[in-house]
Amino acid sequence: MAKGAARRDNPKLAPAPVSFAHSSEEDFARLLDFYGVAWQYEPRSFPLREENGRVAEAFTPDFYLSDLDLYIELTTLQQRLVTEKHRKLRRFQERYPEIQVKLLHRSDYLSLLAKYGFGPFSEVEVAGIHEVLISASELERRIGELGAQLSRDYKGREPLLIGVLRGVTCLMADLIRHVSLPVAIDYMAISSYEGAEGGAVRILKDLDEPIVGRDVLVVEDIVDTGMTLHALLQELAVRRPASLKVCALLDKRARRIVDVPLDYVGFEIPDEFVVGYGLDFRQKFRNLPFIATLKSDWLQAQGRQRARPE
Ligand code: IMP
Ligand code: MG
């Protein structure tokens, strides 16, 4: 692909080859991909100085991060070039004060990674994590959209959001803050029955309040086979709510066994076990701020058991 035209708004869906001028740029792009941060390589040149009506000097930042509306210029370790870059950058900022640009030294972006607690370039890696499937900023944006949609659809009503514990923790907290209506919340805990029959669910914690005549929205972290949700919806329908709908952050449609209607879906994801943003593997990884996949060899080393966190 031609230099300057490269774009990877969603690296998981559309990986495109890019010819980088330096290997440090390629490292940085891989780092951004790893964290699911959208980037464009050298998308724009900014004129810095004109002579006889022609551009005599221009500045072309290495990256543009659209999520952050930020240009990034990477520096090499050679002091001579760093000094020249600082000069260009000062001129740039005088001429384009409204544009955000950040100069990153190699050591800066290595520590940037370490800040997140893990990564292939960092010293402290979280064992088991393969890659980020949905970044924190993608989650934030999509949940904002869902909240806005709920606010429109439930206008004039006061929905009761029912969260299914425990994976829904992060989603519920973020979602309700994007709903501009009075809402009530309640929680249920259910467990897959791990006996010979399989598939059956038990209610471990029931709702605190009756739902008869209420507009109920079940909030789920992830729908996999659909069996848990199916059983739950049957149970709730018996209690005669005014309406009963479902909002699921993740839809692993490829694995569906029972066809459950999902009214609101955050993301459709491939058939891979995911963790983070509330989702766990044996109670671990819930506190990651993004959704990530696990390394298959790591999963296998956990005893080749089917992952069934709750
Ligand atoms: P289902 O009955 O197969 O749809 O299972 C749904 C439940 O299984 C979810 O509420 C999760 O608790 C759990 N689950 C399914 N897939 C995953 C995953 O990829 N990561 C973490 N938990 C999962
Ligand atoms: Mg769950």
* Crossing angle of helices 23-34 and 106-115, rounded to 10°: 10
pTM value > 0.95: no
Residue 167 pLDDT exceeds 80: yes
Residues with active-site annotation: 224
The CA distance from 294 to 40, in Å, is 27
Return the residue whose CA atom lies nearest to atom 11 of ligand 1.
222
Beta partners for residue 74, in sequence order? 104
- Predicted local confidence at residue 123, as pLDDT: 36
Report pLDDT digits (tens) over 63-84.
998 877 889 998 866 777 778 8
Return the residue whose CA atom lies nearest to atom 17 of ligand 1.
273
**Which residue's structure tokens are 């709920």?**
150
- What is the whole-number distance in angstroms between the Cα of residue 164 and the centre of ligand 2? 6
Residue 270 pLDDT exceeds 70: yes
- CA 269-9-96 angle, to 5 degrees, is 150
Distance between start and end Cα atoms, the chain: 46
Return the residue whose CA atom lies nearest to atom 5 of ligand 1.
224
Half-sphere exposure of 49 (CA within 13 A, CB side): 8
161, 217 Cβ separation under 8 angstroms: yes
- Predicted local confidence at residue 157, as pLDDT: 98
Test site for ligand 1: of 171, 187, 279, most ligand atoms within 8 A of the Cβ:
279
In terms of Cβ atoms closer than 10 Å to its own Cβ (0-12, 13-18, 19+), residue 214 is buried
- What is the whole-number distance in angstroms between the Cα of residue 219 and the centre of ligand 2? 9
Residues in the chain: 310
